[in-house]
């Protein structure tokens, strides 16, 4: 006999968000080895600025060699470390987070809890703030992984705050009150509101007005306010990023024990494999309990040592944030421009590693069944793994999250060629069935041959 966690399907793995990944893993695109494979555009990963980090590592070999002032620190790092973390690392993280926020917010390392990534941070907060059956309100569309991270082991429920495309998905007082009332009609005890800022999947930063509204709402309801700010350093366009802590300070709520922030280096530095996250809170009981819970998912001492040195280099972090934002903006523009040429629009974005793409005009009907059909075709026939809006709990069929920072310029070009070919085939073919599929297959083979030929030409030039 196994536990209910093992035998039920509450993990959310059957979501199209995860199913798209599974299809990609069966047939991953490679520029030369598998040019007809599926291009991964469902992964919010930042690979655009690895060269900056690798250059810093080349200039500081002593850090990877586990040395400090030419003395080995191997034994110190290898032996037992308590779950509070290395002071030097926490201080460096605090200064880095302050820099991202333009020094408008100060961070106290003693109010910081280190976790193995933001997934662990968010789940730990749920354990600290809510009991099984309690609920958090989250603006929808929202990150599909929250159905796993916040709910699976904690038993916490999610009630969507319905946001709509007609006003750019802004959070309104009416939407907040509606979500709160719906939760109570379901006999759910609302413990708080959780947002991602900038939004995943929208790629838009939460405005100061929205943050003010949220803090006013949560304060009036005497519930918690959680702001997941793991994309804070990716804001590359106006309006600039505003932290919930900055608005709380302006409202004289900066010491409020019901305001909590989640952060990670997975997106801003592109280091998801390092498993570095944290919780920041003014609530001493939350910090104490979360610190004890963090023993189940610690950051290795070696990782903390490396990043403490890297983040303490003020010159490097200043340059990195500036260059990374510039590259993200340029890559966003390339994606938006490529989609526009195919007659496809996007929600105007200013941050994150993705765009919220409008494919409503390609649906056969205004239904989520039609959205699923279109998504299946895009993944299996066009060879692009993107995330359908339904997996993000969108109320409106036809929107998709498309990631742009986890690939090379050349791979993005392949993806845009495929999009153009697909839309062209849909427009030109009024007939259904085999003829339509044959024309698209022919178009796709032509694009693949064009790409292979282009690669061969580049390789020949380099060999000369």
From 147, 149, 228, 256, the catalytic residue: 228
Q: Which tokens is 350 given?
A: 């200013």
Q: Please report where in the chains the tokens 């039920």 appear, as a residue.
A: 8
CA 77 to chain centre: 31
Task: Quickly count helices (H) and strands (E) in the chain.
Answer: 17, 15
- Catalytic residue flag (residue 279): no
At 181, give phi and psi (nearest 5°).
-70, -40
**Is 313 marked active-site?**
no
Whether the bond into 234 is cis, omega within 30 of 0: no
Relative to beta strand 71-72, strand 67-68 is antiparallel
| CA-only gyration radius of the chain, Å | 23
Q: Which two tokens stand for residue 307?
A: 């990043």
As a whole number of angstroms, the distance between CA 63 and CA 69 comes to: 10
Looking at 38, 138, 161, 230, which residue is catalytic?
Answer: 230
From 18, 114, 83, 95, select the one nearest 387 (Cα to Cα): 18
Catalytic residue among 267, 279, 299, 320: 267
The active-site residue, picked from 24, 142, 143, 180, is: 143
Give yes or no: 320 in active site: no
Active site residue 280: no
Separation of CA 448 from chain center = 30
Give the Cα separation of 381 and 367 in Å (integer): 21
Cα distances (Å, whole numbers) of residue 128 to 119, 133, 156 = 14, 14, 11
Cα(372)–Cα(370) distance, integer angstroms: 5
3-state helix, strand, coil in the chain (%, to 5): 50, 15, 35
Tokens at 410, concatenated: 């050349």
**Would you name the residues annotated as active-site residues?**
143, 228, 230, 267
């Amino acid at each position: 006999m196994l536990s209910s966690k093992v035998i039920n399907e509450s993990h959310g793995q059957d979501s199209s968000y995860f199913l798209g990944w599974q299809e990609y893993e069966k047939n991953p695109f490679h520029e030369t080895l598998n040019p007809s494979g599926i291009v991964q555009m469902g992964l919010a990963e930042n690979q655009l600025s690895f060269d900056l980090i690798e250059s810093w590592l080349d200039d500081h070999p002593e850090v990877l060699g586990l040395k400090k002032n030419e003395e080995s620190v191997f034994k110190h790092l290898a032996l037992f470390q308590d779950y509070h973390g290395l002071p030097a690392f926490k201080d460096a993280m605090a200064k880095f987070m302050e820099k991202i926020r333009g020094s408008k917010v100060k961070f106290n390392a003693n109010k910081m809890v280190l976790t193995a990534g933001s997934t662990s941070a968010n789940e730990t907060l749920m354990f600290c703030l809510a009991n099984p059956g309690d609920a958090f309100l989250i603006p929808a569309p929202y990150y599909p992984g929250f159905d796993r991270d916040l709910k699976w082991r904690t038993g916490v429920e999610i009630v969507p705050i319905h946001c709509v495309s007609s006003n750019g998905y802004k959070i309104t007082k009416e939407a907040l009150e509606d979500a709160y009332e719906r939760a109570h009609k379901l006999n759910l005890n609302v413990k708080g509101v959780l947002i991602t800022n900038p939004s995943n999947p929208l790629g838009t930063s939460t405005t100061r007005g929205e943050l003010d509204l949220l803090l006013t709402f949560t304060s009036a309801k005497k519930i918690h306010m959680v702001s997941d700010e793991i994309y804070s350093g990716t804001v590359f366009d106006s309006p600039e990023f505003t932290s919930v802590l900055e608005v709380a300070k302006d409202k004289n709520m900066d010491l409020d024990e019901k305001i909590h922030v989640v952060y990670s280096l997975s997106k801003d530095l592109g280091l998801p494999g390092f498993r570095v996250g944290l919780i920041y809170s003014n609530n001493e009981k939350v910090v104490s309990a979360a610190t004890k819970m963090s023993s189940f998912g610690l950051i290795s001492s070696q990782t903390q040592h490396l990043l403490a040195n890297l983040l303490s280099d003020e010159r490097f972090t200043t340059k990195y944030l500036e260059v990374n934002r510039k590259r993200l903006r340029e890559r966003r523009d390339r994606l938006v421009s490529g989609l526009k040429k195919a007659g496809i629009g996007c929600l105007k974005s200013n941050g994150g590693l993705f765009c919220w793409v409008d494919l409503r005009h390609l649906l056969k009907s205004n239904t989520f069944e039609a959205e699923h059909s279109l998504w299946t075709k895009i993944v299996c026939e066009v060879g692009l793994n993107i995330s359908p809006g339904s997996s993000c709990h969108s109320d409106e069929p036809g929107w998709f999250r498309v990631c742009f920072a986890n690939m090379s310029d050349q791979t993005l070009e392949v993806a845009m060629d495929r999009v153009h070919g697909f839309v062209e085939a849909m427009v030109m073919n009024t007939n259904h069935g085999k003829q339509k599929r044959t024309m698209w297959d022919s178009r796709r083979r032509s694009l693949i041959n064009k790409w292979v030929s282009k690669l061969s030409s580049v390789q020949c030039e380099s060999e000369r």
